[in-house]
Amino acid sequence: MAGEVLSKKQQDIAIISSYSASGDLIKLETALNKGLDDGLTVNEIKEVLIQMYAYCGFPRSLNAIATFMGVVNNRSGKNDKIGTEGKVLDLNVDKNAYGKEVQTKIVGSEVKGEIFKFAPAIDDYLKEHLFADIFARGVLTDQEREIATIGALNSMQGVEPQLAAHILCGKNTGLTQEQIDEILKLTGGIKNEAFATGEKNEAFAKYFIGQSYLNILTKDQVLVANVTFEPRCRNNWHIHNGGGQILLVTDGRGYYQEWGKPARELHRGDVVNIAPGVKHWHGAASDSWFSHIAIEVPSESGSTDWFEPVNDEDYNKLK
Ligand code: MN
């Protein structure tokens, strides 16, 4: 679409690789469906997930591919495009030379270092396998493969040097600083979270618009739960009687709004104190998943009164 910093396809590749790397298979499933809805071919997505094993290992890659297989099998009614298949390098190609050429082109200069003298096998594997076998498969452009790599590395802990290196590689494949910033923003909140997402929140579904997930962390002394909202999901206006509620934001971007007041935008690390008796709602932004830990402040008269949904007209005014 005109004016977009990244195309839908580029955004989808970044997000799919990011959830593959973080191992969040529930959110990955949503991202995979969106990718197919946006027109990515089945084989393009397969290539992203295959490439992932070079960056986050066979376990993450295999889990992502199994999730994608389930998605594809469930979409038999939709006309998803299969697309072209990845190619296998001809047996008589000198993979080391081929990979070195691709690596040098993408990195911008010949890659050298003490580490490769210390363990020469890893230098061979990088060239012959990653930059030859995998990159030669085609289907995705080198630029699309770098988008996938940046998305994945941005969702992993302790790989900052590699992320910085691949940001430069991304630029060598033609990505602008603005596009790189957008990839980092899209995937920045996606990390392997401390608390599991839990199950679909069926018990309270009638008080929510969109899909939420609930993981009760403890019921002893104080009720503490991890609540996750898909993009656009929010709870209805409600009041906590008795003790009120405290929210600790752990992931994504969302909102908290009290009746008659402007909405407050929320990010990872924000804390919201909700006094008893205050009518309010909380939920995700339209373009982001959102998670918070909800602490129900104990009280002898604790209860929740539920009211009307937050209507689309008001919600759509939020940025
Ligand atoms: Mn609340």
Do 267 and 294 sit in the same domain of this protein?
yes
Q: Using the mean position of ligand 1's atoms as its centre, give its distance from the Cα of residue 190 in Å.
A: 24
Q: How confident is the model at residue 2 (pLDDT cuts 50, 70, 90)?
A: very low
Cα 191 to averaged position of ligand 1 atoms, centre (Å): 25
pLDDT of residue 191: 63
Find the CATH number of the domain harbouring 179: 1.20.1290.10
Whole-number Å distance, alpha carbon 28 to ligand 1 midpoint, is: 27
Are residues 24 and 151 both part of a single domain?
yes
Residue 288 confidence (pLDDT) above 80: no
Q: Which of 185, 290, 190 is nearest to 231 (CA)?
A: 290
Q: What is the Å distance from ligand 1's center to 207 Cα? A: 11
In this structure, the answer to whether residues 82 and 180 fall within a common structural domain is yes
Provide the residues around ligand 1 (an ion) whose CB is within 5 A. 245
Closest CA to 294 of 231, 206, 204, 209: 204
User: Are 144 and 234 in a shared domain?
Assistant: no
pLDDT reported for residue 186: 82
Query: Same structural domain for residues 181 and 205?
Result: no
Considering the domain architecture, whether residues 297 and 235 belong to the same structural domain is answered as: yes
Mean pLDDT of the 12-17 span: 97
What's the pLDDT score for residue 76? Answer: 80
Q: What angle do CA 4, 102, 122 make, to 5 degrees?
A: 115
Q: Are residues 212 and 164 in the same domain?
A: no
pLDDT at 145: 96
Asked whether residue 280 is assigned to any structural domain, the reply reads yes
Ligand 1 centre and the CA of 240: distance in Å? Answer: 7
* Same domain? 63 vs 179: yes
Question: Quick one: tokens of 319?
Answer: 């940025």
Query: What local confidence, expressed as pLDDT, does residue 189 receive?
Result: 59
**Number of domains present in the structure of the chain:** 2
- Note whether 305 and 168 are same-domain residues: no
Q: State yes or no: pLDDT of 136 exceeds 80.
A: yes
Whether residue 59 is predicted with pLDDT greater than 50 in this model: the reply is yes
Span 36-51, pLDDT tens digits: 999 999 999 999 999 9
Question: Distances in Å between the alpha carbon of 157 and those of 7, 46, 234, 243?
Answer: 27, 24, 29, 37
Single out the residue in 187, 219, 246 at which a domain terminates.
187
pTM above 0.75, yes or no: no
- Position 113 in a domain: no
CA of 294 to the centre of ligand 1 (A): 8
Cα 101 to middle of ligand 1, angstroms: 57
**Predicted pLDDT of residue 1:** 43
**CATH number, domain with residue 291:** 2.60.120.10
Write out the H or E segment, with its range, that includes residue 265.
Answer: strand 264-267
**pLDDT for the residue numbered 73:** 93
In this structure, what token pair is assigned to residue 243?
């003790």
Same domain as 277, residue 159: no
How many A from CA of 273 to the centre of ligand 1? 10
Does residue 231 share a domain with residue 174?
Answer: no
Give residue 302's pLDDT.
82
Predicted confidence (pLDDT) per residue in 159-213, tens digit: 888 888 999 999 999 999 899 988 887 887 566 567 877 888 999 999 999 999 9
> How close is the Cα of 305 to the center of ligand 1, in Å?
10
Please check whether residues 183 and 210 belong to one and the same domain: no
Q: What is the mean pLDDT of residues 85-114?
A: 93
DSSP 182-246: HHHHHHTT----SS---EE--TTGGGEES-EEEEEEE-SSSEEEEEEE-TT-EEPPEEEESS-EE
Three-class SS state of 13: helix
Gap from CA of 163 to ligand 1 centroid (Å): 37
Using the mean position of ligand 1's atoms as its centre, give its distance from the Cα of residue 235 in Å.
8
**Distance of CA 256 from the midpoint of ligand 1 (Å):** 9
The domain of 273 spans: 199-315
For residue 245, report the distance from its CA to the centre of ligand 1, in Å: 6
